[in-house]
């Protein structure tokens, strides 16, 4: 029953996410917000089902990260519905995503069997990502610039520790988590360049959104594979 339920949730989430991207591209923002919220609910439920089958403190923390990501999704979608509060909704949504990444970090660091390699990989990746992305972005204040760099560094750290853990003690669950975290980071990089680097490409936005959803779904599925 559980594999069928997971397959149904993943399939429903993919359909909802695809419809959200389409609605977003044609500026049907009310429909897009609803569809994005439902798609986020789908990956949260995938994580919850996996955590119920293999309960652990790490699984609970990953579920918290998924839920915080869903909140960020809702807030970022609503900024187009409520344009007068666009900046506030974006910033609060970004904070929710940051706390979600911190939850993932709390889960992957203790589970990493090669913490020294994880730290080295995290630092190297964070430096590379920040050095590549930050010179391209234009924000309104130094505080936003620093916050953006810190956000990308935390996201990179999740990838670094997840990848080091998967390499040290290979398993389907750890590999899936590492790939999902990497997809999430790739999505964040595309979003930063597109939104704050002056690109403003609808196609890149669609790719970024799709990559984000794939990343969150893989992170959620990693719990079912544990």
Res. 33: pLDDT tops 90: yes
Q: Is 62 left (phi over 0), alpha (psi -120 to 50) or beta?
A: alpha
> What is d(CA 189, CA 136) in angstroms, rounded to the nearest whole number?
11
DSSP letter for 138, please: -
Q: Where are the alpha helices (DSSP H) in 26-141?
A: 29-53, 57-81, 86-111, 115-133
pLDDT number for residue 1: 58
pLDDT tens digits, 193-223:
998 888 889 999 999 999 999 999 999 999 9
> In which residue are the tokens 């505080």 written?
143
Q: Which run of H or of E encompasses 220?
A: helix 202-224
pLDDT recorded at residue 10: 96
- CB hemisphere CA count around 90 (13 angstroms): 13
Judge whether residue 32 has pLDDT over 80. Answer: yes
Kindly indicate the confidence band of residue 109, based on its pLDDT and cuts at 50, 70 and 90: very high
d(CA 151, CA 11): 30
pLDDT for 58 equals 94
DSSP state of 82: S
Report the C-alpha gap between 187 and 206 in whole angstroms. 10
Can you spell out the DSSP letters for 175-217?
HHHHHHHHHHHHHHHHHHHHHHSS---HHHHHHHHHHHHHHHH
């Amino acid at each position: 029953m559980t594999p069928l339920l997971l397959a149904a949730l993943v399939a429903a989430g993919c359909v909802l996410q695809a419809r959200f991207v389409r609605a977003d591209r044609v500026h049907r923002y009310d429909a897009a917000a609803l569809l994005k919220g439902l798609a986020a609910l789908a990956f949260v439920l995938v994580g919850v089902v996996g955590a119920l089958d293999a309960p652990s403190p790490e699984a609970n923390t990953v579920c918290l990260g998924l839920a915080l990501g869903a909140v960020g999704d809702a807030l970022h979608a609503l900024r187009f519905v409520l344009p007068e509060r666009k900046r506030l909704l974006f910033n609060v949504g970004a904070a929710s995503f940051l706390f979600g990444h911190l939850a993932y970090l709390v889960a992957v660091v203790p589970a990493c069997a090669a913490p020294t390699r994880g730290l080295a990989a995290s630092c190297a990746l964070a430096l590379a990502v920040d050095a590549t992305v930050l010179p391209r972005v234009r924000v309104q204040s130094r505080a936003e610039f620093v916050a953006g760099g810190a956000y990308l560094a935390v996201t990179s750290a999740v990838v670094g520790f997840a990848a080091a853990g998967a390499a040290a003690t290979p398993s389907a669950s750890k590999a899936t988590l590492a790939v999902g975290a990497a997809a999430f980071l790739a999505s964040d990089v595309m979003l930063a360049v597109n939104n704050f680097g002056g690109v403003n490409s609808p196609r890149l936005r669609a790719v970024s959104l799709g990559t984000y959803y794939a990343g969150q779904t893989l992170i959620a599925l990693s719990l079912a594979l544990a």
